[in-house]
Amino acid sequence: MEIRNVAIIAHVDHGKTTLVDNLLKQAGAFRANQAVAERALDRNDLERERGITILAKSTAVEWKGVKINIVDTPGHADFGGEVERILSMVDGAIVLCDAAEGPLPQTKFVLTKALARGLRPIVVINKVDRQDARPDEVHNEVFDLFAALGATDEQLDFHTLFASGRQGWADLELEGARKDLSPMFDLILSHVPAPKVDLEKPFAMNASILESDNFLGRILTGRVEQGTARVNMPVRVLRQDGTVVESGRLTKLMTFSGLDRVPVEEVQAGDIIAIAGLSDATIPDTIASPEVTEPLPAIPVDPPTLAMTFRINDGPLGGREGKKVTSRQIRDRLFKETEGNVAIRVKVSEEVDAFEVAGRGELQLGVLIEQMRREGFELTIGRPRVLTRDNTETGEREEPFEEALIDVDEAYSGVVVEKMSQRKGQMQDMRPSGGGKVRLTFHIPSRGLIGYHGEFMTDTRGTGMMNRLFLGYFPWAGPIEGRRNGSLISNSDGEAIQYALFYLQERGTLFVDPGVKVYVGMILGEHSRDNDLDVNPIKEKKLTNIRAAGKDEALLLIPPRRMSLEQAIAYIEDDELVEVTPGAIRLRKRYLDPHERKKHARRSDSEAA
């Protein structure tokens, strides 16, 4: 059977997974009466809750006697490592672009990777049914982006489809019949080349996706680059330096059909397969017949730009809510994550019972922490920091910069420009984008954006949109002012009392409700001034034997400020930690004892001087 391998790539929320849903339905991958969840490929709980794709996934359909392997990829920049290695499995790419928003930073990122691989993408202008759609303008913007990224003449001569993934149609003409997705299938067959492979060579493939199954163990997915794979055939695993990691047999061989993996006895080069039976193979190892001595080339992945410290939970409430609390358990889990997530690096920290975890961004590391939390881990997390490097030629210290693309109402553009400049952002472009909105482009240090998103949404009354893309390493931009307000810190252990909190809310914004367990050194709220303040949240009203003539007035509390995990991580300062357990997210000082805090603060001040 003929094969086509194609990846669907786009900016986050431009409709990739919804489009794949309808491709599967119209190709007959589901029964007529089968109940299928929306965004069927987003099977992970976190993906469903957040409405984003985190892990790349393979699926396959048959169209006019040709098998089409379709790989759905994440759209968020933090999961770019998934996109990079998936492109090595395919011979074509469908680039989706929102008909209203146009090409955004992640569109630029994924397109750069696809063009560098020599692929000739098919452009799909999606969501043309939106009221604010501007498909012709967006089409021109996509062409300009191709040209700006150095596309060849062949790549510039791309095919374009106008589509609505949600309504399930695509057409070569904007005013076409709009019946179904058959024009997209036909274009894939005619435009995407069949894989160029050598069936005579011994079997070899690169592992591109690693999953774990309760019954089959480790499952590795990748494209067979050469030869033929058979069940129970002997293989060995080669690292990129040529060392042999293990030898074994392919106990299970599976191809994809719809949402399912289908066991097969034999697979030829060019197809995307999943294999089981190997215990040490990981990404991007080469799995090959014993006579193969050289590993297949693998795509280098961009290095991480952000790091956090993962520590054991050594607070007074540690071990009460989670089942996995030791440093050994945390270590094993983190190093297991690095096997399947090529964009994450882990090393043992100089601190006791702590690990340095580096990744692409706050969202990627936040997703890892949330997964561990749901698995029963207890952790304390330090403030994110960027990874700098020294330029070997100039000796200058360099830090990662990002391109921030901001769409905002004109009324809020002033405050955004002011805040971005405070964070060392340099404006590159400012242009109207229609409907009273302005599109701003900044180049800004990555550390300048840590913790800014929540502030940005407040400043723009929830109407602003900010997208970011890793730009590269540039000279250190100098100090950036951090949080201006201090913290309200508990000086007592117990449960927070409504009476005490009522009088504390005059001092700032509270983070806790009455009845919440508190301890010495726990952060209860944000002080209205720039200094930290120790307060007593368990103070009760003194009772007397004198009966009041009237009842006490009701103690009305302002609802506390609730923070998500990412917001809490971005909020803390260098001397603070986020305590993460299956039942709670708490903020605390690194040193709980007030005398210890003062001692370390004096030491830091003297070192700074």
Enumerate the known binding-site residues for GTP.
13-18, 126-129
CA–CA gap between residue 578 and residue 571 (Å, rounded): 9
Q: Which residues fall within 8 angstroms of residue 397, CB to CB, at 6 or more apart? A: 388, 389, 390, 391, 475, 476
Maximum C-alpha span of the chain: 99
**DSSP structure class, residue 48:** H
ω into 284 cis (within 30 of 0)? yes
CA–CA gap between residue 313 and residue 383 (Å, rounded): 15
Q: What residue numbers does the annotated binding site cover?
A: 13-18, 126-129
Task: Please name which of 203, 128, 122, 112 lies closest in space to residue 162, comparing C-alpha atoms.
Answer: 128
CA–CA gap between residue 167 and residue 189 (Å, rounded): 22
CA separation (Å) from 388 to 404, 421, 449, 473, 478?
Answer: 20, 21, 15, 8, 13
H or E, element range at 69: strand 66-72
DSSP of 221-275, one letter per residue? EEEEEESEEETT-EEEEE-TTS-EEEEEE--EEEEEEBTEEEE-SEEETTSEEEE
Q: Which amino acid is at 425?
A: G
Cβ count within 10 A of residue 565: 18
H or E, element range at 16: helix 16-26
CA–CA gap between residue 193 and residue 113 (Å, rounded): 18
